[in-house]
Amino acid sequence: MSLLPITLYGDKILRKKTSNVLDVDFYTVKLIKEMFETMKNASGIGLAANQVGANKQIFIVDLSAIEGYEQSKPIVFINPKIETFSEEKIVMEEGCLSIPDVRAEVERPKNVVIKYFDTNMQEQELEADELLARVIQHEFDHLQGVLFIDRITDEVKKKLKKNLNKIKQRKIEFDYPVTEHVDYQLL
C-alpha cells in the first residue's frame, strides 16, 4: 500500500458531488486501505474519497486515537445517506486534512442516523452522537462538495482568508503528501 496525496482547499474535486459506488472491486478495496493508511499518517480521524482525488461516495472514520474512543473500530461508509439529524445542536472546533492549520467553531446537530453500505455492500444503519456524529457529518459534507468553512460565519471566514489563500498556493509546510500546485482564482 502507499500513501495518497491529499487534495487541498482550492482543488476542484473538493467542490464536486461524488459518484455512487456500484460494487466493491479490487480497486475499491485498495483505495479504502490506502485511505486508512493516508489518514493515519496525517493524524486524521476521518477522510473522504475526494480528499485523495477519487470521485467515489466513500468515507472512512477511525476515532481510536482519541482519548475516550480507544475501543472504537474503524468504519467504512459507502454511498452514505444521513436519515435524521437531531434538533439539538452543539458547537465544536473542526479542522480538515484538506485545509491544514485552519480550525474554526462549527455548529452541527448532536446526533445523526446514517444508512450506508459496508465493504460487502450490505446495508447498515448507525445512530451516532457527539464526536462520531460530527465526524460523520463533516465527511458526508465532503462527498457533497461542502467544506467545514462553508458552515462558519462570513466574519470568521474573512479572518481565515489569508491562510486559505496560502493553502491554495501551497505556501505552507505540509506534514503529509499533498496534490501538486494548481493555479486557482484566489478568494
Cell of 135: 465526524
Active site residue 139: yes
Question: For residues 63 and 69, is the Cβ–Cβ distance under 8 A?
Answer: yes
Q: Could you say which DSSP state residue 129 is in?
A: E
d(CA 22, CA 35): 19
* CA-wise closest residue to 39 among 181, 169, 139, 150: 139
* CA-wise closest residue to 168 among 96, 100, 103: 100
d(CA 72, CA 65): 9
Candidate list 83, 107, 123, 139, residue with the active-site label: 139
- Catalytic site positions: 139
